Structure 1
Amino acid sequence: MKSRSIRFVVTVSLVMLGAVSLPLLSVSNAFAQASDAASAAPMTNADVVKLAKLGFDSDVIKSKIDQAPAVDFKLGINDLGNLKHAGVPQDVISDMLKRASGGGASAAGPGRSGSMGAEGMAAMKMGDVTMATKDGNVRLLGINGTISTRNAFVTVLEFQDYPGTAATVRTHDRRPSFTVYSMNNPRGSIYIASLDVNSGDQNRSLKMGNSGFGSIKNAGAPDKDNQIPYDAVQIDNGNQWRLTPTKDLKPGEYGVLHGSLYDFGVDP
């Protein structure tokens, strides 16, 4: 009788342990599935900006981009401008464009996502800015600036500073035109602007935004005093636009602000 009681207790204990192990196993599986879901989340613009702000160099960020199982980058014209303004290096942005279009080290990996539509493909060509003058056409190369600020009474002025006091590309044509790529009318996102020469600092600066009482508005756009009005004409009903200043340019330093600055100079 005693041995039967012992066997009964052991059997009940084993059954109870088995019953407990099932929900524990389910919880473990739930955590594993949640972890897998988190690891499978596509890499986004916010992830890239976070890495840049944490101080990681371009090689590290590009490695993370190439190793990501999937990406969900937003790479329209305005998105690229936001990335640039957030401090993401130009070569990292180029790698984002490459990865989103199907390139990159992990292109063959399963579950790849983030291919670009028409807007993204047009954005890939945003570096193509061609200046047409009476002497012919020349492709402008983009340069990147650094942000600087200056105190001015009740506000702070923000500038983009560019190296050198003069652009390499020069023209005597006072009314050059520029061919750019844009999905939409470029007014409000692409600018022709005049630059101020700082001989002491050996650079050129572009005042950004409109300063008010203790604030700066339109920080991503040049100051209105530096903006050159232009006519925009769509070419062949495509994504190319021809921008032509509405008046002759005075001798000085200029640039097309299209993510980067595509600089040129007008000589007397």
Structure 2
Amino acid sequence: MKLRILLASVALATAVPAAAETLDNATVVQLASIGLGDEAIIAKIQASPANFDVTTDALIALKQDGVSSAVIAAMIEASNTTKASSSVAGSIDSPDPMVPHPSGVYMLADWLEEPKMLVIDATTSNQTKTGGFLGYALTGGIASMSFKAVIPNSEARVQTSDKRPTFYFYFDQADTSLSNRGGGNFWVAGAVTSPAEFSLVEFKVKKNRREAKVGKFNIGGAKAGVMDKDQIGFDYERIAPGVFEVTPQADLQPGEYGFIYSSSTGGGTGAAAVGAQTSRIFDFSIEK
């Protein structure tokens, strides 16, 4: 009976993983004081979680306690790595635009008790609808036939009651401290580098979908892209390499909106050239 209890206790002890040891300044001083070599201490620092104090006073104290310069350098490097990892991990919703964020489009939710960035996921519209075909046919092509990008659902996931919200665009640039994080190339072929390549438009809600004009065609020719009269003006400012602050030029009325980036997906002439395009749309709602 006693043997079974002993075996069960041993099994339970081996099944519980040991708590991860976190190194600090005192631990390093202790390892150095017993004569453990620099290589062994540095290897331990590199293999363990750490919470080092690397302020000037702390570094002086470490040196006075007999810790070598090589070990102190390893402690500083480990401390910097820990801080950088924490910054990147928490950057997805940081309200500070100068904190690293994954590339993409964000809305600053500064109306919340704790402000944060809201990621606006891209919606790809591969469906293009036509409008005004009857008028085009009856007038022999004098009246224009329009083409519309269509996205699903009657409202966007990201919503705000702020009539003039602030957006931040993060692009893949040479300076990767503020953009190009999260892996992969978020933007289309890496070619998008400025908000000037986008059009801000208002969508018309039709049952369970939203539509916006992205081209027109008549007897005089075809035009791809959002028409000037359908574009909503916005200003943008580069605040860092690859990072832009974007704001509408006027208050937006309640409704459905989106930043559209369109790229050609096929060849063709006339109406075929207008319809052959894919639109990436960063949509949002202005609530009443």
Give the structure-2-normalised TM-score. 0.44
